[in-house]
Structures are given as structure tokens and as C-alpha cells.
Amino acid sequence: MTSFDLAWGEHRLRFGPRPLIMGILNVTPDSFSDGGSFFSARDALAQAEKMIREGADIIDIGGESTRPFSEAVSETEETRRVIPVVEALANRVKVPISIDTSKAAVARRALDAGASMINDISALRADPELAGVAAASDVPVILMHMKGSPGNMQVSPEYNDLFGEIYTFLEQAVATAVEKGIHRSRLIIDPGIGFGKTVQHNLLLLKYLSNFKAMNLPVLIGTSRKAFVRKLLKPDHLTDIDPQQPMVETGTQATVAVAAINGANIVRVHNVADTLATLKIVAAIQTAEAE
């Protein structure tokens, strides 16, 4: 695994022999896996602290579902959902808090409340002011590839050159971010598993994930409980299976292991405890030497 050391403000992320773990905290009523489970600030705070105890290196807080065919929420509503959680958590934990948003105003409020990273699925395309917020705050920014928007991204996504198109998109996103004042050392790239991709596209991205290491930036992968895992595991008589079924988590951990082996620097997951166990075994195998 390529070694990176990302330091800013009071935070430092050291990328060592295993990927870091980003714990997902959806403060939404409609996310595909855990919508409604942590909608209250109290429940969200308890879940975040649980993930940190289990080994999360980063907590990613989102107030707008980006599942396929989801509808956008207003800036006011998204802010109402996330800011109390960010404020409460920032006063109680030391790990970096990432705000999962594409809206500059939400990101600005979250950073003022104690967040210290921005995770933007639009790669700074949705809101022209977001790059300025990130540059002024000098915080890490995750740039993700997405074909289309959450509302239409899974309507027959096609590519002429899967890796070439995604790689070029991310290169251009990085160049734009730097042009707008974000230091390259603050950037993390995400090929966007499940965002405008078929099952086969997702499998190929995981199989050849090392292709993205040529960009010489940390790579984040988010496969947790996603539809392609469920489709691969579902019995023939069902159209889908519950994302929280044990077999879905088992499938997720298989993807985490492959991502780790193929060069992921951060994995974004719902189940931190199982992920840490998976990554410890993978790291032990990768670092084993003959006596």
C-alpha cells in the first residue's frame, strides 16, 4: 500500500499497513441501509461513539440520502439534520468528522460546528461555491466519480472505457480543485462504487482498483451493503434482500478484503467492528514473512 501522511489542524491520518475506516452515520429518514435508525441527534451520537470505540478512524455524517432514485433535500433541512450531531460529536471525540454534502452552505456550517473534512459525491460540480469553502478551511476533500445524479445514475449506465473515463474524470476533478485553491495534498479520490455503475462495473473496479494508484492520492472505497452486493447474494425468488441481513454484511466484508488487497487507503462502512477484524487479518497476511 502506498504510504500517505495527511496532517491538518489538530488532526493527522497515517495510512499504514491497513486501510483506515470511515464509519457511516446517516442522519436521514430514507438512506438505503439504515434510514431512520439514527435520525435523532441522541441516537446518532450514540452510534458515532460506538463506531469510534469499535475502531473508526473517521466519522462521516450525512443528512441527505444519495441512494439510487433518491430526491434532493433543501439546504435548510439538510443543515437542520446534521449540525446538532456535528456540534455534539465534535465536543466529545477526537477523530476527524467528515461532512457528507455537496452544498457549500451546509459544509460551511458543519466546519464551523467542528467537522474537519468534506466528502462530496459530486466532486465539487454541484455547488460552485463549495471549492472556495474547502480552500478557505484547508481541510481534506473527497472527490467521487458519479455518472449522472442519484436520481438517474442507475438508469442503464454505460461506458466505452470504464477505467479510462473514471480516471480522466478524477484527474480533471483534482485539477479543478487545485485550480480553485485546494492543495493537492488535501485531496482523496473515490471511484464511486454503485454511483452510475452496473454490478459488472463495480466488480471490475474492485478487481483492478490498483489502476487508480497511479494518481498518487489516497483512494477511498465505499461498498458497504450496496445493491451490487445484494444482487450477487439474493435468492432467485426475491427482487432484493434486506441490507442489514447477515449475508449482506458477509458480502460487504469480502469486498472490503479485496479493496484492501488492491490498494484502498480508506474504506467507508456501516459495520466498523467487522471491518476492523477483516482488515487485521488481511494486513497480517500481507505483512507475513517466511522465517
CA distances from 221 to 69, 243, 278 (A): 21, 18, 15
Q: Which of 18, 197, 230, 268 is catalytic?
A: 268
Q: Alpha-carbon distance 190 to 88, whole Å?
A: 28
Q: Which of 81, 147, 226, 230 is catalytic?
A: 226
Q: Alpha-carbon distance 142 to 121, whole Å?
A: 8
Looking at the DSSP bridge assignments, the partners of residue 12 are 7
Q: Known catalytic residue: 213?
A: no
Written as tens digits, the pLDDT of the chain (291 aa) is 456 899 999 999 999 889 999 999 999 874 445 444 455 778 889 999 999 999 999 999 999 977 666 577 899 999 999 999 999 999 999 999 999 999 999 999 999 999 999 999 999 999 999 999 999 999 999 999 998 767 666 777 899 999 999 999 999 999 999 999 999 999 999 999 999 999 999 999 999 999 999 999 999 999 999 999 999 999 887 888 988 899 999 999 999 999 999 999 999 999 999 999 999 999 999 999 988
Residue type, 165: E
Q: Known catalytic residue: 197?
A: no
Closest CA to 83 of 50, 106, 55, 105: 106
**SS3 of 27, please?**
coil
User: Phi, psi at residue 8, to the nearest 5°?
Assistant: -160, 145
pTM of the model: 0.92
Q: Alpha-carbon distance 51 to 56, whole Å?
A: 6
CATH of domain 4-285: 3.20.20.20
CA distances from 59 to 90, 101, 102, 238 (A): 10, 14, 17, 33
What is the domain partition of the chain in residue ranges? 4-285
Q: Alpha-carbon distance 226 to 245, whole Å?
A: 12
Residue that has been written with the C-alpha cell 442522519 in this structure: 27
